[in-house]
Chains A and B, each alone.
Chain A
Amino acid sequence: MEQKAITFTIDGVEIKGSPGQTIMQAADEAGVYIPRLCYLKDLTPHGSCRICTVMVNGRSQAACTQPITEGMVVENNTDALDEHRRNIVDMLFVEGNHYCMFCEKSGNCELQAMAYRLGICAPKYPYLFPQSNVDASHPDILIDRNRCILCGRCVIASRDVDGKNVFEFVGRGPEKRIAVNAEAKLSDTDIDVTDKAAQVCPVGAIIKKRVGFAVPIGERLYDKEPIGSDIESKKNK
């Protein structure tokens, strides 16, 4: 059965999507970039980072979880929303211990790239300097919780794609952190370096061993073009 397309607007531009799509999915297909960190195509949206907050008919909603409806009016690229997004990115920076200058992920890091895209030079909030730990027990994978932004991608990928449940959140509120399905160590879980869960981290919290700096800094993904360019390029075609 052919389902009727849904027409709505983002920043005044008409977009067509199919029923059941979220704002994010429809926007991506149309080449309209909505900034995001926790959302990753093909994974169940987590809706936790809140960077994709857009105004829908005047109310704030997360674009990654909000379904499209006929005639809805979405605001995305506004000064006010970008200010809120900068604030959230700032929060993520001060919540962790992010040392971009010597982080292996630099240049490929979505958090760093988002900060650049939004024009952040330094966070306006005071650093919280949390005490976090590193788990280097696994032969092929390293977890550095200093850099974790609690996006949930690894949890979802391990559960839904790998069928393993290697990761889950523990603790509540500011104490919330990522934990592994073992009393303490990642090496006691059944994760494998080829698992989806090991590929999806947007930052440098879950990284593969022995491939560090394979691509030199300066030649990495976001060193060349801003985050979101791939999506925006669809529109220009």
Chain B
Amino acid sequence: MNETLQATVKKICEENGNDRTKMINIVKSVQKKIGCVNNESIDSIAKQVNAPRVDVEGVVSFYAFLSKESKGKIVIRLCNDVVDKIKGVDKVAEAFCDELGIKMGDTTSDDTFTLEYTPCIGMCDQAPAALINDTVVTDLSPDKIKKLISDLKEQNDPSKISFPKGDGNNAHELVNSMVNNNILKKGEVIFSDFESGASLKKALSMKPEEVIGVIKTSSLRGRGGAGFPTGLKWEFTRAAKGDRKIVMCNADEGEPGTFKDRVILTERYDLLFEGMAIAGYAIGSDAGIIYLRGEYLYLKNFLESMIGKAKENGFLGKKILGLEGFDFDIRIQMGAGAYICGEESALISSCEGLRGDPKTRPPFPAQKGYKNCPTTVNNVETFCCVSKILDIGAEKFVQIGTKGSTGTKVLSISGDCKKPGIYEFPFGVTLEELLGDAGAEDVQAVLVGGPSGQFIASDGFKRKICFTDLATGGSIVIFNKQRNMLEIADEYMAFFEEESCGYCTPCRVGNVLLKKCLERIIDGKGEPKDLDYLNELGESIKLTSRCGLGQTSPNPVLTTIKNFRSQYESIIKEKKDGMQPGFDIKKAINEAENLTGRKSVIF
């Protein structure tokens, strides 16, 4: 046993109170300190926090940012989202490989660099992008790689490289990032003027039930994708039995093509904190947790400092705005690379230091959530809406948007368009309008709601963004007529295959099978009956999966078959010889031919 390693692990565990529920923090710290969480560290952690070692291993093996094998000191995670592919990430990858003399997935022989791919890191508006350790590098191109690597070699620490600073708070010393906000359209709710403290003051002048009443009157629905009525969720949480209640902010933002929460967190944290405090007051909670995706670690120090400022101003902490008995504090819980942790019950599992598996429901989080406490989980933007509703009043809020979809929606628009970025529109905006604003031409398809949403063809461009027509958590990805829809669907299926938690059969196995068949079709070996096969398999996955991931993961395939069927049909052909196109007779008999030393007379 390596004593220094044991001492290091012991110290980290102690700093986390030897608390098993802090497992994600513990393993992340170990990973950071020694470059991996190897078997020896797993043993030490298990002993230190008194957990079965296999539980620790279960956690380490779940999250993409954790690894049992040691990696290079500098890990370059290049984002290979579909949008990055469109923006040329393949060439960037080649340049990295050439410069470092390794393949993707490998580590240099001196253990300095590891080069790997990672799914969407929330930078589609400035793609191709990469995470280099914790530093985000955007707008990559092959010609920049040589200098980047030489800078990294020189500094030995990506955070020390001087990149140009981004706009707004990205230039703040605690963020210090080259990321840009790209706010291209400000609406009436999130990006309009706001006076800190005003909403909270109004809320605290009412009874908690009245605050919930206001939110119900506003008809606010969740902005994270599922669109559940926020007032109702709060009512359930308030009514649930439990000594302690929790306000959880979902800042996992993992849906490919979504990056609006990144910008809201950077520029509108005040609205967020206030919305969370209002939620705390309404449901009777003193504890807020922001679950921040691992990719946004660069925002953590800044956000923590702003939480500190809010406390100084009396908006958070003890006796908020002088109100005796109302305490509310917020802490940040980091994620570790798992899209499924955006699903609210998986998010809670992760906060509890477990594998990010969704939980069995019922009980729902509002009944039994974080550590069995009634918990309301809401999206970043939802909390911001709450602040604005208290500020301007529910009556004014319902004037914005449409009848069933009140307020605005912040959209992250990227892909084939001239002006990718953040657009805040009132609900009811048509795809046509937003395509115009984003400078998109020659458009073939719009992916609304990310890969778990749907691909819309031009006959649907008059459709509206709202809960009753095209609902979205905020992801809008545009594809022009040069794009191959099948290949795009295939890329997204790779994402779901990788990000499935693996708990239930249909999602774990079904997505692999969907992708296999799609690959075969792309390969020119498809048969006409494959389309029925895909549809039927997809329906089984959607109907029987345990959580929202599997219930939507076949959508890239199903919605391209529905709306771009001719692209499938053009490469699927009945073979004249009656053979299955997927079967290569020559290949099948090749080995026998070699063994016998003679050629088949028939084939």
> Which residues of A are interface residues toward B (Cβ below 8 A)?
45, 47-51, 53, 60, 62, 65, 67, 83-84, 87-88, 91-92, 94-95, 125-126, 128, 149-150, 165-176, 179-183
Contact = CB atoms under 8 A, between A and B. Distances in A.
B513 A48 contact: no
Interface string B328-362: 00000000001000000000000000010000111
A171 B502 contact: yes
Contacts of B499: 173
A111 B512 CA distance: 21
Contacts of B545: 50
Contact of B546 (A48, A126, A167, A173): A48
B62 to A, nearest CB: 5
Given A91-B506, A92-B505, A172-B61, A126 B516 contact: yes
B505 A179 contact: no
A222 B540 CA distance: 27
Interface in B75-122: none
Given A53-B544, A169-B355, A174-B508, A179 B500 contact: no
Interface in B483-525: 497-506, 508-510, 512-513, 516
Contacts of A180: 54
A172 B540 CA distance: 21
A50 B502 contact: no
Contact of B55 (A51, A150, A168): A168
Contacts of A126: 513, 516
Contact of A88 (B53, B355, B505): B505
B505 A62 contact: no
Interface of B: 39, 43, 52-55, 57-58, 61-62, 338, 355, 360-362, 497-506, 508-510, 512-513, 516, 536-537, 539-540, 543-546
Contacts, number: 121
28 contacts: A47-B546, A49-B504, A49-B505, A50-B504, A60-B543, A65-B361, A84-B543, A84-B544, A87-B510, A87-B537, A88-B505, A88-B506, A88-B540, A92-B509, A150-B505, A165-B52, A169-B58, A170-B54, A170-B57, A171-B62, A172-B62, A172-B338, A173-B497, A173-B498, A173-B502, A174-B502, A174-B512, A179-B54
B58 A91 contact: no
Contacts of A53: 543-544
Nearest to B57: A170
B59 to A, nearest CB: 9
A180 B504 CA distance: 20
Nearest to A84: B540
B505 A170 contact: no
A41 to B, nearest CB: 17
A165 B55 contact: yes
Contacts of B512: 128, 174
Nearest to A124: B533
Given A48-B546, A95-B509, A181 B540 contact: no
Main secondary structure of the interface of B (DSSP, over half): helix
Contacts of A167: 54
B216 to A, nearest CB: 24
Contacts of A45: 360
Contacts of B61: 170-172, 175
Contacts of B536: 83, 87
A14 B255 CA distance: 43
A45 B504 CA distance: 13
B501 A173 contact: yes
8 tightest A-B contacts by CB? A176-B502, A165-B52, A91-B509, A168-B54, A181-B54, A173-B500, A170-B61, A87-B540
Contacts of B497: 173-174
A230 to B, nearest CB: 24
A95 B516 CA distance: 13
Contacts of B505: 48-51, 88, 91-92, 95, 149-150
Contacts of B53: 181-183
B502 A175 contact: yes
A39 B512 CA distance: 24
Contacts of A87: 506, 510, 536-537, 540
Contacts of A65: 360-361
A156 B261 CA distance: 38
Nearest to A96: B509
A181 B52 contact: yes
Given A47-B546, A60-B543, A172 B501 contact: yes
Contacts of A169: 58, 355, 502
B510 A91 contact: yes
A150 B504 CA distance: 9
Given A45-B360, A167-B54, A172-B355, 19 more contacts: A47-B504, A83-B536, A91-B505, A91-B513, A94-B513, A125-B513, A150-B505, A170-B54, A170-B62, A172-B338, A173-B498, A174-B497, A174-B500, A176-B501, A181-B52, A181-B53, A182-B54, A183-B39, A183-B43
A175 B510 CA distance: 14
| Interface hub of A65, A91, A183 (most chain B Cβ within 10 A) | A91
A72 B37 CA distance: 49
Contacts of A94: 509, 513
A39 to B, nearest CB: 12
Contacts of A91: 505-506, 509-510, 513
B362 A67 contact: yes
A83 B360 CA distance: 24
Contact of B58 (A48, A125, A168): A168
Contacts of A62: 546
B57 to A, nearest CB: 5
A180 B54 CA distance: 6
Contact of A173 (B52, B508, B544): B508
Contacts of B502: 150, 169, 171-176
Please indicate which of the listed interface residues B55, B360, B509, B543 has the most CB atoms of chain A within 10 Å of its own CB.
Answer: B509
A183 B360 CA distance: 29
Contacts of B510: 87, 91
Contacts of A168: 52, 54-55, 57-58
Contact of B54 (A48, A49, A165, A174): A165
B54 A47 contact: no
A50 B513 contact: no
Residue among A47, A83, A92, A128 facing the most chain B CB atoms (10 A cut-off): A47
